[in-house]
Amino acid sequence: MNYGDWALLQDRRGRVYLFRLQQGGTFNYHRGSIRHEAIIQAGVGRFVATPQGERFSIHRPTLEDYVLQMPREATPTYPKDAATICFLLDLAPGMRVLEAGSGSGGLTLYLARAVGPTGQVWSYESRPRHLERARRNLSEFEDWGNVTFVQGDLAQAELPPNSFDGIALDLMEPWKALNNIAPALKTDRFLVCYLPNLTQVITLLEQIKTLQLPFLHERTLEVQHREWDVRPPIAHPKFQQVGHTAFLVQLRRVGGG
Ligand code: SAM
């Protein structure tokens, strides 16, 4: 660990604190502070304490830690859902994936990691401020040089035909872009829509039927993680859980050209 790196401190109650290590920097806690220098000297996987005896374990933040804590303009796709989107898109290193909107860049980070340095992510965002936030969040955490951000409305974008191995949409009204993006998705590959409301899922499927768009509805699912508090003899589901985030709709591109 060095100056400029992200550090994550975890207290004994499991609360986490994410920050960048700075020369002369200090981590301030309500029961004392710790110099960044002391954190670097201790190193990851080890412990530091304030003069008042508050102990913290030291970690490099995971992608999940970062997405949950990073600055945001729009609500990022929740990590459990972002990971599942990569799985539903059947992504692998070297693939090319299209995304909208970039928002805060949460899903972008997951897609970029899934396709790796030999792959490509094209990320569309209509709002300049959101695009700038996504760009910064990506570059400040993990930039493989494989993301192209484009400012604009995906429904109006000029996309090369038959060129993407997957498409992920986290938009309020994804159906407005379907006509435009369908030819860009390779046949037999997947489009996944992230939709908080079931009414949106129904509208999406109705629009596909009405407009006779070349997509098969493979499945609609929710990702539920039920965390447990296990500290024997205590062992029960945590009283506070992440509730509903969104529905994931997996669609498969069918038909030719
Ligand atoms: N998945 C993002 C993340 O993980 O940070 C969050 C996306 S946010 C919920 C939705 C974004 O879509 C907003 O930033 C909005 O400006 C953008 N948006 C909405 N309609 C759009 C369109 N037609 N084309 C491009 N971006 C659009």
- Here the CATH number for the domain that contains residue 194 is 3.40.50.150
Q: Are 88 and 111 in contact (CB under 8 A)?
A: no
pLDDT at 256: 55
Residues 120, 191, single domain; the answer is yes
Burial 57-73 (b: 16+ CB within 10 A, else e): bbbebebebbbbebebb
Q: Can you name the residues that pair with 98 across neighbouring β-strands?
A: 122, 167
Q: Are 167 and 234 in contact (CB under 8 A)?
A: no
Residue 139's contacts (CB-CB under 8 Å, 6 or more residues apart) are none
pLDDT at 257: 43
Binding residues: 104-107, 125, 130, 153, 170
Could you tell me the CA-to-CA distances from 236 to 51, 79, 224, 233, 239 in Å, in that order? 35, 23, 16, 10, 8
Residues 213, 145, single domain; the answer is yes
Residues 26, 108, single domain; the answer is no
pLDDT at 13: 87
Residues 29, 45, single domain; the answer is yes
Per-residue pLDDT tens over the stretch 105-117: 999 999 999 999 9
The number of residues in the chain equals 257
CA–centroid distance, residue 174 to ligand 1 (Å)? 10
Residues with CB under 6 A from ligand 1: 74-77, 100-101, 103-107, 124-127, 130, 153-155, 170-171, 177
Q: In this structure, what token pair is assigned to residue 27? A: 């981590």
Residues 147, 164, single domain; the answer is yes
In a domain, 1, yes or no: no
CA–centroid distance, residue 40 to ligand 1 (Å)? 37
Residues 108, 24, single domain; the answer is no
Judged on CB neighbours under 10 Å (0-12, 13-18, 19+), 129 is exposed
Q: Domain holding 23: CATH number?
A: 3.10.330.20
Instruction: List the chain residues with pLDDT less than 70.
Output: 256-257
Residues 214, 145, single domain; the answer is yes
Which of 14, 35, 61 is the endpoint of a domain? 61
Residues 34, 131, single domain; the answer is no
Domain count, the chain: 2
Task: Please identify, by atom number, the ligand 1 atom nearest to the C-alpha of residue 134.
Answer: 5
In testing the pocket of ligand 1, which one of 78, 130, 169, 181 has its CB within 8 Å of the most ligand atoms? 130
Q: Which domain holds residue 19?
A: 6-61
Residues 160, 54, single domain; the answer is no
In a domain, 216, yes or no: yes
In a domain, 122, yes or no: yes
In a domain, 45, yes or no: yes
CA–centroid distance, residue 151 to ligand 1 (Å)? 11
In testing the pocket of ligand 1, which one of 123, 126, 194, 195 has its CB within 8 Å of the most ligand atoms? 126
CA distance 251 to 213: 11
Per-residue pLDDT tens over the stretch 208-252: 999 999 999 999 999 999 999 999 999 999 999 988 999 999 999
CA distance 177 to 173: 8
Residues 158, 99, single domain; the answer is yes
Residues 76, 29, single domain; the answer is no
Task: Please identify, by atom number, the ligand 1 atom nearest to the C-alpha of residue 72.
Answer: 5
Tokens 């390779």, residue? Answer: 186
